[in-house]
Structure formats: C-alpha cells, structure tokens
Chains A and B, each alone.
Chain A
C-alpha cells in the first residue's frame, strides 16, 4: 500500500523520556491542528523513538529542512503549524540556543550535542516510526538478513562478525564473533539465541531506547545469529519495567512474522526462527548471563560458576548464544556493509561506536553515540556542554554502579574497553554520571555500593558479606566515625571480593569505592581525621553547607539570623569566635559559603558577605575589645608576620593570656590585607579598626623588623626568651615567567607592584600602556590599580579562557566594566626592549588536552600559510602576576626548618615545623590563599601553640562544628519569592580615577530582609539528627 507523498514530515520523539514530558499530547495536538487546517495530505506526524537529547525534550524535528525544536509543549502546537508548516518560518523561541552565545541553532546538524556523535546503532532511533516495519525496511532493514541467508554460509556470517572486531556491548567486551563460533561449534541439535535486554544500571537507557526506537534491528540481528549458529529459537529477556519496549517488540515481532522475515521458512528458505519475549522481574543480577538463563528457566536468578559456558551448556542445558541488545543491533549493518566498514570506525581494538547515557552534573543530559576512542573530555564538555552553574568538574562515573570514577586528570582518556580499564573504570553498559565539586566521593561511592550490595544475589560469600561490611565502613566514615585503618580494611575486602566472587557483580562491586579511594584518598582521610566533608554532602558531618564551606567554620546561619533580627553585636560575637576579621571579610572574602548556599540551588545564594559587612560596619562607632578567656601566663610567644594568619594567631593566644609580640618587616600591619588588596576593595582605615582591636587584646606589633636582619628565630628563642615562634610570613615573592626581557626596566612583579602602590611608591604609569599577565586575583588587582594610577590602557594577557580564570568572577566583571582589555588564549613569549619595555610579543593559543586539574591545556596555534598566530602588544609596563611563593631569605640559615618543594614550610598536622617550638601558619604553609583560610590557620596554630606551651599532647587541630541554636522568627514561605538584592557600586567612570571603595554596602533594611532568605539548614539538621534543644522544640511547635 503506497503512502501519499508528504511535503513535510514532523518527527516527534515518543521515547520514554519525552513521553514523560508530554510528547504524546504534542503528537495528538499536532495531528488535530493539521487536520483542522486540512493539511493531512501534505504533512505527516511521525512518532519516533528516542533522539537522545532528553534534557531538551520533547524534541521535534521537521523535515525536509531539519528544523530542530526542543522542549515543545502542547500549547506550542498552533504556533508551529502556523509559523513553520504554513508560513515556512522558524519559531525562534523553540530552537536550541548555543550555551555560550545564546545564539539560536535552528538546524539539527548544527547542534553541538549531535555534531560530534556518530550514530550507527541508534541510526534509526528518532528517525523512523518504530511500529512500522516498512519504515525500517526503507532504511535498509532486513537487507542484512537476506544477504546472510542467500549469499553467505553460516561460517561466512560468523567470519564476518569475527573480522568486524565487534566486542560485546553488554560491557565485558568479549569478541562477539568468537562467541558465535563457540556456540556454532558446540555439539547439539537444539541451540538458542538469547538477548540480554535486562538493562538494570540506574540511569542507563540505551537498550530501552533501541528497543523502543528501532526494535527490528534487534530482531534482524538475532535472526542472523540464529542462522549463523544453527538455532531455531530465540529469547529476548527484557525487564518488565520497560512496558513500551515490550509492546513495540511484540508489534515488531508480529509484523516481521507477517512479512515472512521471522517464523517458519524465513524468506522462503529452509531456515526457521522464532522469537519469544521473557519478562524479567527486575533483579540487577539477572544481567549476568547464567543468572539470566536461570531466570528464563523459571528458577531464582542466580549465577552459577563457569565452565560450562552458555555456549556449551546454556538455556536448558543447550548451547546458547547470549548477547546484549546493542551487540545484536550492530549485526545487520556489519553484514550489509562488511567488516571492513565497521573496523574503520572507532579504535583498532575497540571498533565501532559506544552509547552512553550522559547524566548528572552536565548541561546536556541524554543518550549519545560516539565513535570508540573519543575522549571523556570531549563527551562531557563538547557534547555534554560542560558543568552547570560554573561549578568545577570533579569526576565521571562510567560503567554504572559496578564501574569506577575517573577524575579530571584523566579527561584525555579515550573511551574504549581497554583504556577505561587502565584508569580503573569499566565500559560497562554505558552509564556516564558526571559529578561536580559539590559531590562527596565518600557519599558517591557509598551510593553505588549501597545499590550493588543490595542487588547481590546472596549466593557467594565475598559478594554477600563483603559488600555489606564495606558499606558499614563507608557509612561509618561518612558519619565521622571512621578510623584510620578503615581504608586498609576496605582495600582488603575489595581484593577479596574481586578475586573471590562468583560473578562479575561481586567482582566489580568494589570498583566505585576503589576508584574513589585511588583518586580521592585525601577526601576520605579528611572525613576520618577531621570529621569533615569538604564537599558538604555527608549529612551527619554537615550542619549547614555554608559553615562547612567556610575555611574558618564560621557559624553562618546563626549570625545571618541574628542580622535578620537586628542583633548585630550577638551576630558579631558568633562570627568572631572563628574569624576576627568581619569588616575585612565582609569586603574581600570570596565567600565560599555563598558558593555552597542551598538557597542557590533554588534561585540565588543568600548575599552572606554583604550582610556580614553590614553587621560589621554597624559596629564601627563602638569598637570591639576582645575578651580574655584565660588567666595571664608568662610564656612569651613571637609571631613573625602581621598578616591575617599572624594577627589571628596572636589574638587567640593573647585571649588565652599569653604575652604575644608580632614582628613584621613592612612599615604597616596587615600583611597582604594591607599591601596586597588595593584600597578600593579594602580601605586602610577599615582594616586598621580590626588591627587596633587585636592590639587592644594585648598584642604588641613591632613593624619594620626584618627576619634574618633585625632578628632571627634562634635569637628569639635563645636570647629573647620566646617559648614559641609562629612563622606567618606569607607568600610575597612573585614567580618569574622565564621569558626574554624579564629584566628590562618597566617589568614588575604583581605582588611587588601592589605593595609599592599601597605604600605610595608606585611607578609612574600616567599615560602609559600596561600589560598584566595572569588570571588570578593579583592580576586583576594589579590591572585595576594600574588604571587608577593613570595608565592609558591596561591589558590582561591570559593563556587560557575566561572560564578558567581563578580570579573572583565579580572582580573580573568589575575589571571589564572599568575598561580593562582582556586577551584570552594569549601567551606572552617575550618582552621587547631594547632599553626598557616597549611591547610584548604574544602567541595565540588554542585549547588542547585536559590538564591534571581538568582544565584544557593551552597550546600554541601552529602557523599556517595564511595566518601567523603571533602579535605584538604595545606596552611600556609589564606586570607578571602568574603566582607567588614564600620569600625564604630570612630563614636561610635555619637548617632545622624543612621546606617543601613548592617553597612552603613543612608542617605536621598540628602545624609545627620540623623545629620544635616553631610553628607556621597561613600562606607559608598553604601557598597563596585567601584571608579566611589564613584566619583558620591562625585559629588552629594558636590552639597548637597553647597545647605545646602547656605541655599537652599535640594532636591534629580540630574544631567542633558550632552548636548554637538561633531561633527562626519568621516564616520561610514569606521569603520564597524574595530575590537576592544587587549592591550599589561606584560608576566605572569615577572608580578608575580614585582608590575609593567601589562597592557600597547594603542599607539596614536590605541587609535584614536579605538574611531572611536563609533556609536555616542548621535547624533542619539539628532536628533531623535529634539534637534540637527542648526550648527549640517548644518554639517550633
């Protein structure tokens, strides 16, 4: 029966994903609308299988133009028919938008999600109507079967499959052709073909898509297999949870039988082949071949030891060939196009394509088919569109719950059976779950383990007991009850399970845990040693994500609630328990708390930093005097360096009654706060208010005292009677670039330049052109300072891209606003002279492979006939801001203090250096870091020094998480719609002319109202952990 000729075909996805987002209503609506307009003879609506881009569903493609519409809703139907099908115009709002540029991409083939894909297995999915065998036949369907039956002997079919190099797509990767040969050679008259369609991995749905979108490819593949191995019957073992797949299979089998392509005497030959569908009851272990066969036979789905392999003794003891859906679906095309064609796709040892279900923290979730050998990075960043919300990529789990995680340093790994195994993961059935920085690897591996151990059939001991024991240990670790020996125990169990389990389920169960332990051991150790979850995910350890994210563990929700109530003094008291620099941090803190704020999951994070600034500013007229918390003592402590770490340490020791003296070589106190952060971000008098408060605690600050010249550590301890010394000397030495011309006049180090500017000794930049190199905070600060010092033009040269810049995003935006010119992917290779800086020779870069941090490494663009990727930037001043290290000159003679390779001081967990009595804190141990991280170190070193002076054992310094309970006096629902306020800033025109503070604070009303947006995770946590006080219970009742 001939179909009429249609001028347009509207393909609407009818896969499970899109169906869940109302695609069936869209299809019905389209049909209705088309009928209403009398277009039935011109336009046809085709319900198809899955197109993979499930994140954007329901998906509609209109041919012949190939117009791609996404997230189509029933209400859009009229517009589409009117605009596109009648008037021939693209409906812009329904098209896919490029994520970076927001440019409309109306054509299917232009969408990056599809452009890197190669569709072989899924070639018909989303293209044909899976319930019409004619559409399959038109696309070349059943050609493979007829070729096999008429042109090839059984051996030739097997040979073709063998030579194609097709490896089992169920995950194990065994040669499909070899398997067929085994079954073919096995003695016996009755043989079976079995298809494993028991797709059990959470989140994996490629088999399902194939069954739903192109069932005939499986039927044809199995029939060819039946012919090749000499079987007359086949079983498709499909999970009962796939009702649509089962229905479409049934329809397809009936149609194939009707067409004589299945059943008795196929295509009038002697070959007969019958297919049955067996519904599985959803046991994960039934994906294991022997368990699957047991289940078909009606027994409990449990694996048995092999040998005998199913090829020799399978279903009901007969030789049986068992393959995955995708393996069979590849067969027809291999037969039609020949093994050489298949061989040329993918890699040599893993030919063909791989299908992945891309999910998790990635922009474009969905089903992707890619040639084997494509890198993980390409899948995640090019096809997947990277990580949402500018978060950092952390790891990707491949191979489902029995796979392994792969961290950023392996993003260049080519995806194929062998390469994935080398890095500790597996291909598995093709699950690919991307996680970002907010995922805790302990929790993540626990999640998979929980699944796998619950799905253990319970037959063999290593799997049944090992999984449970391991889960208990991991649970303990995630609850802060871990012990150091736990990690070894986990490894022992893993080894026992891997070598001793009966089937792959048990052997691979430790995979996720072991790979997480391999790449993220320090994260496990943090849970065990510090009872902290750095990612903020382990419930028992994380009272509130903001507090957890704060290096100084400030009790954010409590002081935020107190601000809401206008109780600033109480709020400050809580803040200062952990961080004495509320005024400073209210201005310059990168606000780790806000990055993890749970409100940010809903709309935008609470504006914690600015609220804090309001709280601190409120107190300015009434300055703080730190309280003494212990009796006076006589052991003197010397602190070298008056930066945030040194000042905090001195304050904490003074509060405990110790006489403390700070020595600093600069003429001002504050360290980087004074000479690193420019005044337009942190006015000096604001900083001084907090330094004065610390002095009021009894701390003596001696400025202009240079270590190694004016005093030595030996002198302090031996002559001057200091019982302990804290080295908090920071990281004030800029890193050299190592390019020609670096010694020319006009070349400065970023930190040095900022220091001079702060001390009023800046070089004359008036009317000059300045080139700053680097992407961090120092580079941005130097550039903006340069502008304020009168530079004509300021350029920032950065060898990577904007996304890769480590500087604080708001600072980068400000720099843009102030007119600083950014040159991304630009690498300075030489500073031009001759007598002083006259220009910078730059080489353009492109992004290459991923580096160990997960960022793409810039590599120089090669020169071509038409383009020389170099240019010269005119500049009279060159500022290098590519990193800092510790200036170790003052310590050079002190051989007792060991130094690490990166020029930080070697310290024990209690922050003591290798010299007894000498401690270190701040950038000198961390490398360049933030104020709040230095404060944390200051707190900790003070505790350690006090213990040392009291002769108490020096243990790893830990702080209990705060346990305050500030009641919530307003209804959260009232603030459900409230938006994060925007803070006022100086206009760019004015800001570049002076060092006035750019950012204005909040007014009182704004600050207090903003604080009410806080979701009070802390109270929820107390309640869920059963730690809520009686008083609070009464209040909330």
Chain B
C-alpha cells in the first residue's frame, strides 16, 4: 500500500500517492496541467517547461512532470506567473520553426497548436525564422520535418525506452540542436527499424505518416481499439478510419506492448498490393467465374458430401479468430469427420509451461531465448528483451543458427549446451524463457527443470497459435491424399511447396482474402475478410483472450468466415 500524502492544488485538497509527480497527482484528481515533452509512456525530462507550476517555498517555477509530491505541498497550476511563462514558451516555440498551422498535416491534432489556442496566442510576436532546416524523407513509411520539430525528445525516449533501439538522439547545441539518427545518418540509412513509435508519440507534425497524411483530423476519424493480427504477440492497437477508409494503426499505450508496434503490424499492411477477392468464385467450364454465395457453398458442400469422410481435408491458418477456429473444428471434425489441421506450426509438440507475460520480461534478470529469433518474427518481444537488457537484464541465446539478437546477448550457447543456459537461469532470481518452434525436443525437455522458477513465453508463429494449440490442431498438411480440400487462408499465403501439394486434391476450395497462385487452381474460391474487418477474439501468446474489433463495415457480399462455416454446415 503506497503512502498517501496530502497536497493542495489550486486550493483543492488532494490525496496523492507518495512518489507521484505533481503532474500525475493532478491528473488523477482531474486537474489538467499542459504538457508537451511529457508523455506517460516515457520518462519525464522536464525539457519543454510548459508544465511549469508554482510550488510554495520553491524558487522560480518547477516542472510538474518531474517534481515529486510531498506532504503539505501547495501548488498553483494556472497562476498569472505560470500562465505568463507558458505563453512565453509557446511564443518561443512558434518563433523557432515552421509552425504555420494551415500547412501542417497535424493541424487540428497538434498538441502545440492546442496549447496555443488554450493560452490565446493570437498573433506572431517574433518573426518567423529566416533559415529553414532540412527535411528527411529517407525512411520508407514516414517523413521527418525538422522545421516542425519542437525538440521535445519524445521520439528519442520512445526509441530508447520503448523500442530499445537507441537510434535517435540529438546533435549540436543551443538553437542548432536537431534530432538525429545514429549521430547524423539519414534516417533511412540508420539503424531505425521503422517501428513507428516515434511517429505515434510525436506531439506535432514533425513526423508525418506517408499514408495517412492530410487524410483526416482527429475529429473526423474513428478509432477502433483492436489487436494486431500479424503475429502471436497480439499487440493492442487502434485502427484509425475515416468514412470506412482505413488510415493508419497505432499501438495501444495501455496494453502489454506499451504502445509499441512493429513495422510489420503498423506499416506493412498498408503496402498490400495483392488483388482482393470480392465475391465467391466457382470453376465452370474450366474457368473461375463469379458466383453467388449459395452457389459457391452448394458446390463446396456437394464436393464434401461426395467424398468419403476420410478423403476430406480441411486446414486453416492460425490467424483466424476463436469463433472461426471453433466453427472450423465443429464443422469439419464434428460434422464431417474430416482430416483437419492448421497451416502453421503451433508448438504442439512442446510440453512446456506457457502463460508468461511481456511485463515479466521487463522485470526479468535473465532471459533465455531458444529456437526463435524474436526480433525478426515477434519484433515487439524483441524490443521488450532489449529494454530488459538495457536495464541490466541478461540475455542468453541458445541457438545453432544466426540470430539477430545475438549482439545483445550476454551469453550464446549452441543448442546442445542448453544445460548451461538452464543452469544460469536456475541461478538467477527472475528468469524468463522464450521458446520457439526450432528448439529440438530433446533440448526443450531440459527446460522443464525451470518450470517452477521461470516464466515461459511460447513464441507461436501466428496470432491465434495459442488457441489452435489448445484446440489440439496440428500442422499435418497432406492435401495431396485428399479428394476434397478446404483451405482457410484469410490473408496468409502458402509456400509454393504447399501449393504444389494442394494441387493434388481433386476438389480444392480456398477461403482467402487475396487472389494468389493457389486461388487460380481452386475449384471454389470464397472471399475472406481483411485484418481490420474481423470482429471476435483470440488468445495472444500470453494466453490472454483479447478482443478483435471490426473497424469498418463490411462491403456488400462479404461474410465473416465463421458465418460462412455455419452456412456450410447447414448444407452438409
């Protein structure tokens, strides 16, 4: 139980927790102290000074974001002296760069602009700067305009504290100070991993998303709290849409990913170039032709009915939501008695504990990674591990292959020396074990010794791998021996090898979002939803059930996969 301290803010009596800053205490009491450089997700640095308040018995003004509350403290947050200083700071900021709002993408959503409104800055006092700073457009997904940068350094702290990438910093001094990457490289050639956390945390229009720029202001858009489906971390996200058009994705600050997403989840979906399947297709006269749902489902049902149970095969991606997975099992195993399975590995062969949380990583003193390369496949996990390393945590990698996390590791062992790694974990206070599919079973067994001590995080390849495993689904892909095959791909793609195998089936139904070489050879093609069209839930790798929300209404003719399966079941 935290100690309570009594303070007064603007004369109001407030009970705050010891250790809280004035800003936090005020916020908890519903008192708004403006901030610019401060963001709850990163550590306060007291740089912008906009949150200055008057504190009794303190010389000058103090920054609310850094000043701890003490018993009996009296604070004034909007006294004339404070307001005068804030206006001054705003005037200074507006004199420093190109803050000519009508031309800025962030106008309307800009924290600087909002403060200028709040404090009534109605004209320029200082002339606009003559010289302009360069822009940097070398990154693929977003642009840096130094002229709109207020040097709040949120991006730097997001980069180092959240993404643990330490790419960003400042160079030069005084009025020449600028944000830089790796001491002065173009951002695009730097160590930046394009996680976009800086973009998301920037309070002004200095960082601009190439896709969503100028496409809509906060008041014009809708936000849908959802979950990223591009790996099993299941990062909390918000999908931003305007009039049914998706603009961008942001990480959810309050979730286990702490607002961080990776380039895979944040930007790459917007680079989608595959052709969307807009209606069911049925092969007629040797050619795939648009058909009604009824016709397509009838054709599929007929094919299933015609084949013996043992000759019906159904496989689904683990990216599907819980309801679809259950429906898939119910229809194809329960009703048809078919061969069913999943398209990706599910760590099914491991008898290891699960349930470790991302937060466990941050407090871990030893982290063992084996059979996986989190920075590549589960980047946000990778960032969390790096954060832990920066705070003194020790990373041990057990792998025979190249691993992009090796340079952060305190120790690297070949797989056959798993025992040594296990011993190190046993000797530490708070170990966390992350294991992936590439761990050989005999080595994995050695990890069992840690099951009482360590938190275990399974690194499923796909977003709902946890549930797929729980449902007992296995990656037993064998369509070649089947007469009728149903593949639920959604927006995943199959390897050429698998496509070759699938071609062996007499009748192939593909339920997918995009056209692909596989759909071309299918007999029935059913359109599936896109990632932001789903509504439902899944289990992330922590084993936590999370809600996936539909961000746009479905186009005519689209039916969620679980309903499609239900309708199919009705025909069987």
User: Which A residues fall within an 8 A CB radius of B?
Assistant: 283, 285, 300, 304-305, 307, 453-462, 464-469, 489, 492-493, 495-496, 498-502, 507
Contact = CB atoms under 8 A, between A and B. Distances in A.
Contacts of B96: 461, 464-465, 468
Contacts of A454: 173-174
Contacts of A283: 173
B175 A462 contact: no
Contacts of B66: 304-305
Contacts of A500: 49, 52, 60-61, 85, 88-89
Contacts of A493: 88, 92
A550 B62 CA distance: 52
Contact of A453 (B61, B88, B89, B175): B175
B46 A305 contact: yes
Most buried by B among A300, A464, A492, A495: A464
Interface of B: 45-50, 52, 60-63, 66-68, 81, 84-85, 88-89, 92-93, 95-96, 125-126, 150-151, 153, 169-170, 172-177
Most buried by A among B46, B89, B173: B173
A463 to B, nearest CB: 8
A496 B175 contact: no
Contacts of A496: 84-85, 88-89, 92
A502 B92 contact: no
Contacts of B177: 457-459, 464
Nearest to A285: B173
Contact of B175 (A304, A305, A468, A489): A468
Given A469-B92, A496-B89, A460 B67 contact: no
B111 to A, nearest CB: 14
A469 B129 CA distance: 10
Contacts of A499: 52, 60-61, 81, 85
A465 B126 CA distance: 11
A654 B419 CA distance: 111
A467 B172 CA distance: 15
A459 to B, nearest CB: 5
Contact of B45 (A304, A467, A489, A501): A304
Contacts of B84: 495-496
A105 B63 CA distance: 59
Contacts of A305: 45-46, 62-63, 66-67
B311 to A, nearest CB: 67
A285 B177 CA distance: 14
B173 A456 contact: yes
A795 B126 CA distance: 62
The SS class assigned to the A binding surface is helix
B89 A461 contact: yes
A489 B92 CA distance: 12
Contact of A458 (B49, B63, B126, B170): B170
A1026 B125 CA distance: 31
Contact of B95 (A285, A456, A465): A465
Given A462-B89, A502-B47, A455 B173 contact: yes
15 contacts: A304-B66, A307-B67, A307-B68, A455-B173, A455-B174, A456-B173, A458-B172, A458-B177, A461-B96, A461-B151, A464-B96, A489-B125, A496-B85, A499-B61, A502-B49
Contacts of B125: 489
B45 A459 contact: yes
Nearest to B96: A465
A465 B92 CA distance: 6
Given A499-B85, A500-B85, A458 B176 contact: yes
Given A458-B170, A461-B89, A465-B175, 19 more contacts: A285-B173, A457-B177, A458-B175, A458-B177, A460-B49, A461-B48, A461-B150, A464-B96, A465-B92, A465-B96, A467-B175, A468-B175, A492-B88, A493-B92, A496-B85, A496-B88, A496-B92, A500-B52, A502-B63
Nearest to A452: B174
B92 A457 contact: no
A465 B52 contact: no
A107 to B, nearest CB: 49
Contacts of B174: 453-458, 464, 467-468
B237 to A, nearest CB: 32
* Pairs A-B, 7 closest by C-beta atoms: A458-B177, A496-B88, A305-B46, A465-B92, A468-B175, A456-B174, A305-B66
A496 B47 CA distance: 14
B49 A462 contact: yes
Contacts of B176: 458
B44 to A, nearest CB: 8
Contact of A461 (B45, B49, B81, B170): B49
Contacts of A507: 60
Contacts of B61: 499-500
B410 to A, nearest CB: 20
B248 to A, nearest CB: 29
B175 A456 contact: yes
A466 B85 CA distance: 12
Contacts of B60: 498-500, 507
Nearest to A465: B92
A459 B47 contact: yes
Contacts of B50: 461
Nearest to A306: B66
A461 B172 contact: no
A500 B172 CA distance: 22
Nearest to A283: B173
Contacts of B88: 462, 466, 492-493, 495-496, 500
A458 B67 CA distance: 21
Contacts of A502: 46-47, 49, 63
Contacts of A300: 169-170
Contacts of A461: 47-50, 89, 92-93, 96, 150-151
A809 B93 CA distance: 55
A390 to B, nearest CB: 40
Contacts of B89: 461-462, 496, 500
A92 B177 CA distance: 57
A501 B61 CA distance: 9
A468 B150 CA distance: 15
A288 to B, nearest CB: 13
Most buried by B among A285, A453, A458, A461: A461
A458 to B, nearest CB: 3
Contacts of B62: 305
Contacts of B92: 461-462, 465-466, 469, 493, 496
A465 B97 CA distance: 10
A140 B60 CA distance: 44
A460 B50 CA distance: 10
A499 B68 CA distance: 19
A461 B149 CA distance: 12
B150 to A, nearest CB: 8
Contacts of B68: 307
Contacts of A455: 173-174
B113 to A, nearest CB: 16
B90 to A, nearest CB: 9
B85 to A, nearest CB: 5
B244 to A, nearest CB: 41
B49 A457 contact: no
A500 B49 CA distance: 7
B46 to A, nearest CB: 4
A700 B170 CA distance: 75
Contact of B151 (A285, A458, A462, A495): A458
A799 B428 CA distance: 88
A459 B172 CA distance: 11
Nearest to B45: A304
